[in-house]
Each structure stands twice: as C-alpha cells, then as structure tokens.
C-alpha cells in the first residue's frame, strides 16, 4: 500500500482528504495499528471521530482494519478528543484512536493514536506504523475482533464535573465554530451552573465560517464582539475536536494562550509551591516570569501535545501548556488535554478569587505580543527553510539567548530571548506551514521585530502567503 509519507507526522497522522487519505488507505492504517497493538499484547481499543465530513467513513474503514488484526472495538461515536482519552479509562483499554485533523481546514482529516492511557504516538511509534504499512507486515488474526457501540457522554460529564466547584454563576460565550464541541460544551457548562450563550454550535463539518481555530485572531475577535454584546463574564472558542481553547475576558480583550499557561501555573503553584511547569518554545516570556515569581521551576520544551505530555511525565511536573491551547493538568486530572476541563478550571479559580478574568492577570508582566502566525510552506521544504533561516537569525542576534536543537534535542525551530521579549521561527509537525511569534515591551521595538520577521520570510520563494493554512498574517502588516 502506497501512502504519501508526509501524512505520517511526528505525533499523529494527518493529510488532505481524497488526495493523501481515503477509506482504503485508512483501512490499511487500521490494520497497521492493529498489528502495532498486537505486538504489545493489546487486544482492545476505543475509536471515536469528530464532525469532519469524512469522519464516519474513515471510522468504519479504520475499525475494519483493526478488527482484521483481532482488535476488539468499542465505537464511541462522534466525540471530542478528550472523550476518547476518558473512554480509555472508563473501558480499561490502552488502545484508542480519535479520527480528527484538529485545527487543520475542513479538507483535512487524520488520526490521533493512543499508545497508553492519555498518551499518544511520538515519532518512533508513528514510523513503526508507517513501516508496517510499507512492508505490509500486518497481523492476520484467525478471529475477527468484536465490535460494540457505547455512549460514554454522561460518564464523561460526571467525571469532569466532580472535579470542579463554581462559587458563582458565570455568563459564558461558547463559540464552537460549527465544530464537534457544539454537541457537548454548552451542556456540560450548564450542568456546572453557567449561563451559556451559544455561538455557532450547530454541527457542520464543512466549517462554513472557517476553521474552528482558537489561535486565529479573526476567531477570537468574533468571540470578543459577542462578549461585549452579551455583557458576558468571559468568552471561549474551541477547536474542531475540543481539546484546545482560546479565551476572551469580560472587557473583550483576547488572552493568547501563553497568558492562560501563566494563569494556570500561578494557580497550581499557590497549592504546590516549587513544582515544575512545562511550556513550549512558542510561549511568551510572561510564562517563565510568572512561574519564577511564584516559586516554580520553568521547563521549556518542544512543541507538540505528545512531547509536552511525555515531558510532564519525565519531569513529574504538576502542569504543562502550549500557546496553541493544549493544557495538561497532572494535579487533579488525567494529564491529557481537555478543553472542557481547562475552561472550567479557569472559572473555578476566578470564583475562588472573586475576581474577573482581567483582574486576575492584571499583575502579570506586560508584553506587546503577536499571536501565533502560520505561513504556508511545503512539507518537503519547511525544515530546510527553518535551518537556513536560523543560521542568519543567530548571526543577526549574537547576544540573544538561543534555544534550538542544541538545547532541546530534535527541536524544530530557533528561539531568541532578549531582555525585553523573544522571537521564534519553527516548522510545524502537523502541516505544511511555518510558525512565528515575536514580542517586546516597547511598541517601537515590537514594530522593528515585526519588520525583521516579515523581511526574513520574504527572502524565501517557498513561502506561501495565500493558503487556507495561513493564520494571522495580518499581524505582520
């Protein structure tokens, strides 16, 4: 079976529908994952999908392939990614697949693949699955695996809500962008005691108003407008599969997710002083400063939910988070990313402090900070572009503190830290694009860094400035 090797990414499988992936190829991936599980003496798995238009078709194909390897399947239907992780605990199985392309546009789909409770594949496991397909060394089971459907929704609600106590009633904007979260988030928030105002919660896997991506400024501006119109306490946007969030305060100001990482770090360090907090290289210097000022130990690590989860386990950290909106709580939860739980944790903290969201982070260091900017670049060119760009970058800023693959093994970019902010260039692990972020404490310096970033990128003809994967390019204007 020939499958475009570029769909096998560093921690999941992701590609363009009907070009990179179709039902036949997905069945082969299911057979390979079945063989992968059988090598580990695992014979049970849960499988779910998000609302993408090919989700059900791919789920049927994947399950067919897995059952041919003798894997017993529990089909949990259309769910959020965190519900797949939770179902592993509920049904006691190490195996699990979530069919989703997360924040990629509607013409993409893919799979997040479990290798244990709350743990997903890293580079070695993805390559192992690819090798099984390339060599067609599947596990031919003498008996087909069993199949049953289960609905774990109420169990999931109960499990989340038993961990949360809200001391006030919040008026909350929920913007699902027509993603899967529209089926679940309004209900779980209402059960928690919130007054919910629903925006774009009708499910539509074609994403008619654009990709549900809480890192996109246009999405968050839309939420901010709703917050002000409805006089809400806060607004929350979700990605298509529900494991990531973006947040707006009661004044209509967007909090990029590194600010949320800092808020969660502060809350946890109040209870567990001296804890390690993991954050990715795209995060603002706000995160490090808040962790240190609250007595914690900051640990910066490479981007990717699988990498951050693994680092949390390695360091025995209490919490980890990413600019993209993945948050991992190891104090009172399972340690996987769950947008429902993260949202409710913020509300719980606000109710404990009797503060508004804007009041909560008022004392934080102030930076003028760009959002996460994504620019198209072919998969077979992006690593070379970043490597070449990094050489120039380091020469241009010889006095900066540099973080790259000489500091973090196998890191995918180069970050420069200054006394008053940072800049980073990196290539994405899950799509054909490059990611940039920059910040400063002074507007003139911020504008200077913005010009530098844009000029650097314009040197490379491989950059694609008009592409559906591009996000927040207006921040370079």
| Distance of alpha carbon 266 from alpha carbon 363, whole angstroms | 11
Q: Which two tokens stand for residue 33?
A: 């994952």
Q: What pLDDT does 208 receive? A: 97
Question: Is the full-model pTM beyond 0.85?
Answer: yes
Tell me whether residue 171 is exposed, middle or buried, using C-beta atoms within 10 angstroms of its C-beta: 0 to 12, 13 to 18, 19 or more.
middle
Give me the architecture of the 256-337+350-360 domain, per CATH. Answer: 3-Layer(aba) Sandwich (3.40)
Q: What pLDDT does 333 receive? A: 92
Q: What residue ranges do the domains of the chain occupy?
A: 5-152, 168-254, 256-337+350-360, 368-476
Q: What pLDDT does 353 receive? A: 96
Find tokens 């289960």 and name the residue. 150
Residues in the chain with pLDDT < 50? none
Q: Which two tokens stand for residue 55?
A: 């989700």
CATH topology for 168-254 is Alpha-D-Glucose-1,6-Bisphosphate; Chain A, domain 3 (3.40.120)
Q: Do the domains 168-254 and 256-337+350-360 sit in the same CATH topology, yes or no?
A: yes
| Distance of alpha carbon 96 from alpha carbon 113, whole angstroms | 6
**Helix, strand and coil in the chain, % to nearest 5:** 40, 25, 40
| Distance of alpha carbon 43 from alpha carbon 331, whole angstroms | 30
The SS3 call for residue 380 is helix
Across-strand partners of 313? none
Residues marked as catalytic: 102
Tell me whether residue 325 is exposed, middle or buried, using C-beta atoms within 10 angstroms of its C-beta: 0 to 12, 13 to 18, 19 or more.
buried
| Distance of alpha carbon 473 from alpha carbon 57, whole angstroms | 34
Q: Using one digit for the tens of pLDDT, what is the confidence trace for 101-123?
A: 998 999 999 999 999 999 999 99
Q: Which of 66, 117, 57, 67 is nearest to 87 (CA)?
A: 117
Q: Using one digit for the tens of pLDDT, what is the confidence trace for 232-270?
A: 999 999 999 999 999 999 999 999 999 999 999 999 999
Geometric angle at alpha carbon 446, from 441 and 449, rounded to 5°: 130
Q: What pLDDT does 431 receive? A: 87
Q: What pLDDT does 147 receive? A: 98
Q: Which CATH superfamily is domain 5-152 in?
A: Alpha-D-Glucose-1,6-Bisphosphate, subunit A, domain 3 (3.40.120.10)
Q: What pLDDT does 103 receive? A: 86
Q: What pLDDT does 304 receive? A: 87
- At 196, phi and psi to the nearest 5? -105, 130
Give me the architecture of the 368-476 domain, per CATH. Answer: 2-Layer Sandwich (3.30)
Q: What pLDDT does 10 receive? A: 86
Q: What pLDDT does 7 receive? A: 96
Q: Which of 200, 161, 188 is nearest to 51 (CA)?
A: 200
Cβ proximity of 376 and 433 under 8 Å: yes
| Distance of alpha carbon 92 from alpha carbon 333, whole angstroms | 16
Q: What pLDDT does 473 receive? A: 96
């Amino acid at each position: 079976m020939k499958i475009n090797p570029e769909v096998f990414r560093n921690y999941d499988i992701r590609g363009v529908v009907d070009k990179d992936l179709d039902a036949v190829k997905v069945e082969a991936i299911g057979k390979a994952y079945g063989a992968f599980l059988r090598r580990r003496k695992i014979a049970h798995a849960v499988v779910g999908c998000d609302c993408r238009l090919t989700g059900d078709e791919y789920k049927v194909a994947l399950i067919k392939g897995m059952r041919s390897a003798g894997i017993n399947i529990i089909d949990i239907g259309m769910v959020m990614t965190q519900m797949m992780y939770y179902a592993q605990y509920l049904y006691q199985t190490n195996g699990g697949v979530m069919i989703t392309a997360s924040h990629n546009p509607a013409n993409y789909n893919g799979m997040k693949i479990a290798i244990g409770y709350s743990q997903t594949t890293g580079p070695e496991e993805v390559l192992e699955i690819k090798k099984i397909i390339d060599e067609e060394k599947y596990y031919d089971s003498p008996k087909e695996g069993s199949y049953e459907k289960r609905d774990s929704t109420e169990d999931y609600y109960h499990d989340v809500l038993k961990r949360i106590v809200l001391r006030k009633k919040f008026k909350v904007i929920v913007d699902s962008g027509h993603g899967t979260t529209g089926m679940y988030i309004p209900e779980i928030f209402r059960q928690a005691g919130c007054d919910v105002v629903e925006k774009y919660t009708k499910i539509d896997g074609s994403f008619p108003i654009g990709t549900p991506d809480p890192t996109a400024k246009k999405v968050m501006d839309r939420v901010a407008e709703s917050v002000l119109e409805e006089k809400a306490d806060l607004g929350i946007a979700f990605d298509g599969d529900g494991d990531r969030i973006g947040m707006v305060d009661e004044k209509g100001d967007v909090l990029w997710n590194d600010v949320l990482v800092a808020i969660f770090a502060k809350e946890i360090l109040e209870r567990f002083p001296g804890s390690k907090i993991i954050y990715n290289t795209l995060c603002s210097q706000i995160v490090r400063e808040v962790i240190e000022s609250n007595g914690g130990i900051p640990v910066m690590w490479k981007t990717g939910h699988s990498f951050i989860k693994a680092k949390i386990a390695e360091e025995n950290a209490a919490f980890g988070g990413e600019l993209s909106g993945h948050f991992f709580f190891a104090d009172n939860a399972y340690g996987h990313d769950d947008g429902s739980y993260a949202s409710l944790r913020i509300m719980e903290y606000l109710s404990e402090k009797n503060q508004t969201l804007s009041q909560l982070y008022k004392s934080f260091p102030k930076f003028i900070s760009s959002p996460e900017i994504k620019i198209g670049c072919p998969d077979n060119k992006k690593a070379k572009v970043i490597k070449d760009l990094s050489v120039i970058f380091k020469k241009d800023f010889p006095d900066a503190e540099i973080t790259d693959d000489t500091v973090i093994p196998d890191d995918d970019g180069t970050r420069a830290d200054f006394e008053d902010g940072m800049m980073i260039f990196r290539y994405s692990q899950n799509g054909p694009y490059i990611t940039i972020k920059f910040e400063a404490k002074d507007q003139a310096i911020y504008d200077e860094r913005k010009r530098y970033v844009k000029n650097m990128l314009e040197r490379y003809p491989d950059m694609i400035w008009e592409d559906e994967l591009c996000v927040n390019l207006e921040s370079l204007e």
